Amino acid sequence: MIGAMKITFLQSAKEAVHFPTPNRPEVALAGRSNAGKSSFLNALANQKVARVSAEPGKTRLLNFFEAGESYRLVDMPGYGYASRSGGEIVSWQTMVESYLMKRECLVGLVLIMDIRRPWADEEQMILEFCASRELPCLVVLNKADKLGRGERSKQQKAIAQVVGPENVFCASALKKQGIEEIEEAVYDRWIKSWQKEET
């Protein structure tokens, strides 16, 4: 799919009234601040479509991207950024939870983690949130190039015990490794089923 599919920025929004028409499936991208969500999205697009910042917590809105004519990717603000004010945190929770709970065309969530970080309460909360909504979830262990093969395998096995081995992928957005496998999993598992229901 990569190379044949063009990913383009569509719009940013905070409230449901400003979201795009729900006429195609959407896949949410979630992750801790500085997990490399924007870099992952750029690697998926094979071009720079999302702004990458060295300062975590820069994404403050829901950013919608068209993935060809098949589906949309929705880049959500990163969580866990301690410098945010209490008001900003509440605003983030309201915006993200409203989108995840009420968006009828949302078909799955990709949780992007820095492979060097352990599974924590925030990740567990997202997983349980997805489970309560019966929303499928994949975990991408990004920045895999930062670890040796043994450490990479150890971390992948640890996360697999939580979410299942079929739902964990190692990737390096920097070196564009593992990206195509993830895109194919998203398309085959989530987008095809939506298309079948629509026909």
Burial track 119-147 (b if 16+ CB lie within 10 A, e otherwise): beeebeebbebbeeeebbbbbbbbbbeeb
Nearest to 1 by CA among 185, 188, 171, 183: 183
Question: For the chain, what is the mean pLDDT?
Answer: 86
Q: For the chain, where are the alpha helices, taking DSSP H only?
A: 37-45, 86-102, 121-133, 149-163, 179-186, 192-198
Domain definitions of the chain by residue range: 7-198
**Which burial class, exposed, middle or buried, applies to 183 when counting CB atoms under 10 A from its CB (0-12, 13-18, 19+)?**
buried
Structural fold of domain 7-198:
Rossmann fold (3.40.50)
CA pair distance 5, 191, nearest whole angstrom: 14
CA pair distance 145, 12, nearest whole angstrom: 31
Q: What is the pLDDT of residues 139-159, one digit of tens each?
A: 999 999 999 999 999 999 999
Q: Residue 34: what pLDDT?
A: 84
What one-character DSSP code corresponds to residue 178?
S
The answer to whether the beta carbons of residues 84 and 92 sit under 8 Å apart is yes
Q: Residue 80: what pLDDT?
A: 63
Torsions phi, psi of 179, nearest 5?
A: -70, -45
Q: What is the pLDDT of residues 117-141, one digit of tens each?
A: 999 988 998 999 899 999 999 999 9
Give CA torsion, residues 12, 115, 184, 136, to 10 deg: -70
DSSP 116-142: TSPP-HHHHHHHHHHHHHT--EEEEEE
Residue 87 is encoded by which pair of tokens? Answer: 């008001």
Specify the residue for token string 């383009």: 8
The answer to whether the beta carbons of residues 189 and 175 sit under 8 Å apart is no
Instruction: Say how many C-beta atoms besides its own lie within 10 A of residue 96's C-beta.
Output: 18
> pTM, whole model, 2 decimals?
0.88
Q: What is the pLDDT of residues 40-74, one digit of tens each?
A: 998 988 878 876 544 444 457 899 999 988 999 99
**Which burial class, exposed, middle or buried, applies to 26 when counting CB atoms under 10 A from its CB (0-12, 13-18, 19+)?**
buried
